[in-house]
Amino acid sequence: MTSRKAPTMKDVAKEAGVALGTVSKVINGIPVSEKNRLKVEAAIRALNYEVNTYARGLKTQKSNLVALIIPNTTNPFFAAFTDHIEAALYKRGLRLLLCCADGIPQKEIDYLNMAANNKVDGIIALTYSDIGKFIPPSLPIVVFDRFFENRVIPRVASDNFSGGCLAVEKLLEFGCRHPIYIRFHSVFPGESDKRRDGYLYACEKYGLTPDYIDEVDTDDALSIMKDFIRKHRRPDNSLTFDGVFSHTDYHGYMFYQLLLSEGVRVPQDVQIIGFDGIRKFGNRQDDLFISSICQPVEQLAEKCVEILTSEDSVTPPSLTLLPAYYQYGGTTRDPAALR
- Residue 193 near residue 217 (C-beta atoms within 8 A): no
Task: Determine the interface stretch with a second copy among 31-39, 71-79, 142-150, 262-270 (rule: CB under 8 A).
Answer: 71-79
Strands 292-294 and 325-327: antiparallel
User: Are the beta carbons of 126 and 78 closer than 8 angstroms?
Assistant: yes
Question: Under the criterion CB under 8 A, does residue 200 sit at the interface with a second copy?
Answer: no
Question: Smallest distance from the beta carbon of 46 to a second copy, in angstroms?
Answer: 27
Closer residue to a second copy (CB): 98 or 152: 98
Enumerate residues 273-312 that contact a second copy by CB under 8 A. Answer: 279-283, 289
Q: E strands along the chain, which residues?
A: 65-70, 95-100, 122-125, 141-144, 155-158, 179-185, 212-216, 243-246, 271-276, 292-294, 319-322, 325-327
Contact region for a second copy (CB under 8 A) — 79-87, 133-141, 150-158, 170-178?
Answer: 79-87
- Between 99 and 138, how does the x/- string for binding to a second copy read (CB under 8 A)? xx------x-------------------------------
> What are the distances in angstroms from CA 144 to CA 114, 273, 278, 318, 320?
19, 23, 17, 11, 10
Q: How far apart are CA 148 and CA 155, in angstroms?
A: 10
Number of H helices, E strands in the chain: 11, 12
Per CB under 8 A, the list member of 14, 37, 95, 178 interacting with a second copy is 95
**Which of 11, 41, 50, 83 is close enough to bind a second copy by CB under 8 A?**
83
Q: Is 250 in the site for a second copy (CB under 8 A)?
A: yes
Contact at 8 Å (CB) between 277 and 84?
A: no
Contact 131, 108 (CB under 8 A): yes
Out of 2, 3, 60, 74, the only residue in the binding site for a second copy (CB under 8 A) is: 74
Angle in degrees, CA 229, 234, 240, rounded to 5: 60
CA distances to 163, 241, 262 from 228, rounded to whole Å, are: 24, 11, 13
H/E run at residue 226: helix 221-231
Which residue from 87, 172, 200, 222 is in contact with a second copy, where contact means CB under 8 A? 87
Sign of the Cα pseudo-torsion (147, 153, 158, 160, in order): positive
Cα–Cα distance for residue pair 118/336, rounded to 1 Å: 52
Q: In the complex with a second copy, which residue's Cβ is closer, 87 or 229? A: 87
Which residue of 82, 158, 271, 331 would you call a contact of a second copy, by CB under 8 A?
82
Q: Which stretch binds a second copy (CB under 8 A): 32-40, 97-105, 128-136, 234-242?
A: 97-105
- Conformational region of residue 253, where left means phi above 0, alpha means psi within -120 to 50, and beta covers everything else: alpha
Footprint of a second copy on 50-69 (CB under 8 A): 65, 68
**Which listed residue (24, 36, 73, 309) binds a second copy by CB under 8 A?**
73
Among 80, 123, 166, 307, binds a second copy (CB under 8 A): 80
Shorter beta-carbon distance to a second copy: residue 106 or 237: 106
3-state SS assignment for residue 31: coil
String of contacts with a second copy for each residue 9-48, x by CB under 8 A: ----------------------------------------
Strand partners, 66: 96, 122
Smallest gap from residue 289 Cβ to a second copy (A): 7
Least gap, CB of 103 to a second copy (angstroms): 12
Footprint of a second copy (CB under 8 A): 65, 68, 72-76, 79-80, 82-83, 86-87, 90, 95-100, 107, 250, 253, 279-283, 289
